[in-house]
């Protein structure tokens, strides 16, 4: 496969690096990559005339954020051996197709985990203690006029349920322990060496907690794992925080339950059809809405850059990859 | 002194309990107190004709929230032996006058501490990660229109400085430790058995940290302890969170530094002239504003009710008081 590249490149040419992205997505460290690799960009401006030929020889596809990688994409780029993802979630990749072709896949691993965990805690405090609502109240000039203000609910001591106790979930748990919260969780399997209460199904978890924090990967098994039953089990005072993916929750049901006051509140960083946010949410006072930004800090970007750079070097020098996804 | 009350009450009458409050302040558990005590309310509606006489015999003054207790108030109620405060801060009491008269004083103690600490952490995450700003962005319908969103700053690993490592401050420290933050503090004296870095003056603390959390008591010594020098030492990326009292900060300077971008941001639950919030803050995107509500949860109120009830019982049965303030 490297032989095909050599038809167009001298042996000393930098290795080919195929970008796979929505036109609107960019990476700030692309200029650095261009000093080390022959970067092939389908949306180069002006268009790169060598793209159609060279892209067939590229061994690495660098996939930006949520850009889907389908079986057809892999047909189009027959030399790809490695799909390098820049998201923590890789539900946008056809993993079965990658497995069939023997393509290796890496994700952003835990480059974002601290930031997402911090954000999940921030959203939880925000919903329970009504921080954004308070800010809205003050900015609207209501404080001098209305003496009464809706009370929030205490954070310390709450029962926190975590859906998906992975790299992010375990960091969320550690943070809430410092607030004197009790921790329970759901995941495919009970984790060894973890003392938190395990629930084999999400509905049981929901009936046992005050706050449900959704931070598992989106897969066929977890699609709408938070359905109406689960939310009803969480109850009228219960709060849902989603920093995973929008499709982990039945969004239509969530909106109805929130509007009818049948669950207590929600902190949502992700939605089913981003950037579309269901209209009724925009005027509710017991929700905090966020434009899929739990990962967005300069520090996360720096950690991602380091991971991408080191995985590219590792791949081209036959060293082990970090954050590789098991495909079996 | 109890003899004066007996001129108007039978020996079996419930003890007198003098309320001292702004007309707008109320306590939801007052009806309970009325079953146990002869409650004397200067703002009773209709007015209580026995108030002028009986209030002179009351041994306990129950002071609501920030209502001032002046030397003149104590002249007016000569039998008062005990001022029972319902705030954590008691800067509204003339403590020197209380000491001279041998009057005992209690505060809300740590009834609110968990809630205030939770809120301080919430405000910090909110400012650093721009949670309220994100919510504003989504509600304004900007997400589908503007692809770019201002990045927040990572919480995990930040250097957190705490001004006042008391009941609230130490709880704030414990929570931030779980985020992998380093903790430094300033207080009158270095605390024994505490491993956090101590700074004898606030300016040194400010130059050493990314976030300054103000949660000390307001006294003559701490009035405007956060002055221009301290804020300048904190620097352009620094964030201030105030859950103490507005007058702990030179508010005019704070507003100017925020407007000029000379400090990074602020999360403010308290202001110098509440409910007045300085106009320029209302349109800044790097501040989170809150109407003095860090203590306001049903759980805090329940803890306060328990404290007030048990301190009243203790006083009238000569038992030790909880949360008593040392007046020497």
Is residue B292 annotated as part of the catalytic site, yes or no?
A: yes
Are residues B160 and B63 located together in one domain of the fold? Answer: no
What are the tens digits of pLDDT across the range A31-48?
Answer: 899 999 999 999 998 999
Residues B305 and B279 in one domain: no
Phi, psi of B30, rounded to the nearest 5 degrees = -60, -45
**Nearest residue of chain A to residue B113 (CA atoms):** A156
Q: Distance between CA A267 and CA A284 in Å, rounded?
A: 12
- Does residue B210 sit within a domain? yes
Residue B147 phi, psi (nearest 5): -75, -35
| Residue B178 near residue A175 (C-beta atoms within 8 A) | yes
**Judgement on whether residues A139 and A67 belong to the same structural domain of the protein:** no
d(CA A293, CA A257): 25
Which residue of the set B104, B245, B251, B253 is catalytic?
A: B245
Give the 3-state secondary structure of residue A131: helix
Q: Is there a domain that residue B38 lies in? A: yes
Q: What percent of chain A has pLDDT over 70?
A: 96
Asked if residue B321 belongs to a domain, the reply is: no
Question: What per-residue confidence (pLDDT) applies to B310?
Answer: 96
Q: Please give the C-alpha separations between residue A303 and each of A111, A169, A202, A296, in angstroms, as whole numbers.
A: 5, 19, 32, 11
- CA B170, B175, B176: angle at the middle one, nearest 5? 95
What lies within 8 Å, CB to CB, of B227 at 6+ separation is B250, B253
Q: Is residue A160 part of a domain?
A: yes
Residue ranges of alpha helices (H) inside A84-242 are: 95-101, 113-129, 131-139, 167-177, 202-207, 228-234
Residues A41 and A185 placed together within one structural domain of the fold: no
Whose CA is closest to A163, among A238, A98, A243?
A243
Residue A38 in tokens: 């022959």
Q: Is B245 a catalytic residue?
A: yes
Q: Give yes or no for A299 touching B (CB within 8 A).
A: yes
Q: How confident is residue A1, by pLDDT bands cut at 50, 70 and 90?
A: very low
The pLDDT > 70 percentage for chain B reads 96
Task: Looking at the structure, tell me whether residues B244 and B142 fall in a common domain.
Answer: yes
d(CA A275, CA A246): 11
**Residues of A with catalytic annotation?**
245, 274, 292
Picking from B37, B43, B87, B31, the residue whose alpha carbon sits closest to that of residue B60 is: B37
- Let me know whether A153 and A96 are in one domain: no
**B146 confidence band (pLDDT: 50, 70, 90):** confident
CB-count burial class (<10 Å; 0-12, 13-18, 19+) for A319: exposed
Domain that holds residue A212: 113-289
Top-confidence residue, B4 or A266: A266
Residues 165-194 of B with CB under 8 A from A: 174-175, 177-180
| Residue B295: C-alpha distances to residues A147, A151, B291, B299 (Å) | 15, 10, 11, 9
| CA distance linking residue B62 with residue A151, whole number of Å | 23
Give helix A113-129 / helix A131-139 axis angle, nearest 10°.
60
Compute CA distances A147 → A80, A189, B24, B275, B293, whole Å: 64, 50, 8, 9, 12
- My answer on whether A136 and A99 are in the same domain is no
Residue B328 resides in a domain: no
Encode pLDDT of B206-230 as tens digits: 999 999 999 999 989 999 999 999 9
How far CA B84 is from CA of A279, B14, B47, B61, B304, in Å, comes to 49, 18, 23, 6, 11
Note whether A152 contacts B: Cβ–Cβ < 8 A: yes
* Secondary structure letter of residue A164 according to DSSP: -
- A125 with A231, same domain? yes
Cβ burial, residue A113 (10 Å; 0-12/13-18/19+): buried
Overall number of domains in chain A? 2
Asked if residue B280 belongs to a domain, the reply is: yes
Residues 6+ apart with CB under 8 A from B133: B150, B285, B286
Taking the Cβ of residue B143 and every Cβ of chain A, the question of whether any pair is shorter than 8 Å is answered with: yes
Using a CB–CB cutoff of 8 Å, tell me whether A300 touches chain B: yes
pLDDT of residue A9: 63
Residue A186 C-beta-side C-alpha neighbours within 13 Å: 23
Evaluate if residue A185 carries a pLDDT over 70: yes
Residues A291, B138: C-beta atoms closer than 8 Å = yes
Mean pLDDT computed over B261-272: 97
Determine, yes or no, domain membership for A263: yes
Instruction: Please answer yes or no on whether A131 and B290 come within 8 Å at the CB atom.
Output: yes
Q: At what angle do helices A167-177 and A113-129 cross, to 10 degrees?
A: 50
Closest residue on chain A to B133 (Cα): A132
Question: Looking at residue B4, what is its pLDDT?
Answer: 42
Average pLDDT over every residue of A126-137: 97
**Among partner residues B123, B137, B155, which is closest to A131 by beta-carbon distance?**
B123
B300 forms bridges with which residues in the sheet?
A: none
Written as six digits, the tokens of A41 are 């960009």
Q: What are the two backbone dihedrals, phi and then psi, of residue A182, each rounded to the nearest 5 degrees?
A: -90, 150
Residues B153 and B277 placed together within one structural domain of the fold:
yes
Q: How many CB pairs below 8 Å do chains A and B form together?
A: 169
**How far is residue B224 from each of residues A34, A141, A327, measured CA to CA in Å?**
53, 25, 60
Same-domain status, B151 and B284? yes
Residues B56-72 have pLDDT tens digits of 999 999 999 889 999 99
Confidence band of B148 (pLDDT split at 50, 70, 90): low
The pLDDT tens digits of the residues spanning B94-113 come to 999 999 999 999 999 999 99
Alpha helices in A55-106 (DSSP H): 71-76, 95-101
| Spatial separation of the C-alpha atoms in residues B196 and B208, rounded to whole Å | 13
**Structure tokens that stand for A239 in this block:** 């709060």
* Global ipTM: 0.87
Within this chain, do residues B207 and B240 fall inside the same structural domain, yes or no?
A: yes
> Rg (Cα) of chain A, in Å, rounded?
22
d(CA B199, CA A239): 40
- The enclosing domain of A309 has a CATH number of 3.40.50.720
**For residues A115 and A296, what is the distance between their CA atoms, to the nearest angstrom?**
8
Residue B256: how many CA atoms within 13 Å on its side-chain side? Answer: 9
A288 inside 8 A of chain B by CB: yes
Determine contact, residues A172/A121, Cβ cutoff 8 Å: yes
- Asked whether the beta carbons of A214 and A164 are under 8 A apart, the reply is yes
In this predicted structure, the answer to whether residue A6 has a pLDDT above a threshold of 50 is no
For residues A103 and A156, state if they share a domain: no
Q: pLDDT digit string (tens) for B14-73?
A: 999 999 998 878 788 888 999 999 999 999 989 999 999 999 999 999 999 889 999 999
Distance CA B38, CA B16 (A): 5
């Amino acid at each position: 496969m490297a032989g095909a590249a050599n038809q167009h490149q001298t042996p000393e040419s930098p290795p080919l690096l195929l970008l796979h992205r929505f036109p609107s997505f960019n990476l700030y460290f692309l200029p650095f990559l261009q000093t080390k690799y022959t970067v092939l960009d389908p949306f180069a401006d002006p268009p790169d005339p060598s793209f159609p030929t060279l892209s067939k020889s590229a061994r690495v596809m660098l996939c930006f954020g949520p850009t889907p990688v389908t079986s057809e994409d892999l047909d189009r780029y027959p030399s790809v051996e490695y799909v390098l993802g820049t998201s923590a979630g890789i539900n946008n990749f056809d993993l079965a197709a990658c497995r069939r072709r023997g393509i290796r896949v890496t994700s952003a691993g835990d480059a974002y985990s601290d930031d997402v965990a911090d954000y999940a805690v921030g959203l939880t405090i925000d919903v329970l203690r009504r921080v954004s609502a308070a800010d809205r109240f003050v900015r609207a000039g209501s404080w001098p006029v209305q003496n009464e203000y809706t009370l929030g609910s205490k954070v310390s001591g709450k029962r926190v349920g975590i859906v998906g106790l992975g790299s992010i979930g375990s960091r969320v748990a550690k943070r809430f322990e410092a607030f004197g919260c009790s921790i329970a969780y759901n995941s495919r399997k009970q984790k060894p060496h973890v003392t938190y209460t395990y629930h084999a199904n999400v509905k049981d978890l929901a009936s046992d907690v005050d706050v449900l924090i959704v931070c598992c990967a989106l897969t066929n098994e977890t699609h709408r794992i938070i359905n109406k039953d689960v939310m009803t089990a969480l109850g009228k005072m219960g709060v849902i925080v989603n920093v995973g993916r929008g499709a982990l929750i039945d969004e239509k049901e969530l909106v109805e339950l929130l509007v009818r006051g049948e669950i207590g509140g929600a902190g949502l960083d992700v939605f089913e059809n981003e950037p579309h946010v269901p209209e009724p949410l925009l005027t509710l006072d017991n929700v905090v809405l966020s434009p899929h930004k739990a990962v967005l800090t300069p520090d996360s970007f720096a950690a991602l850059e380091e991971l991408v750079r080191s995985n590219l070097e590792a791949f081209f020098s036959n060293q082990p990859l970090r954050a590789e996804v098991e495909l079996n």
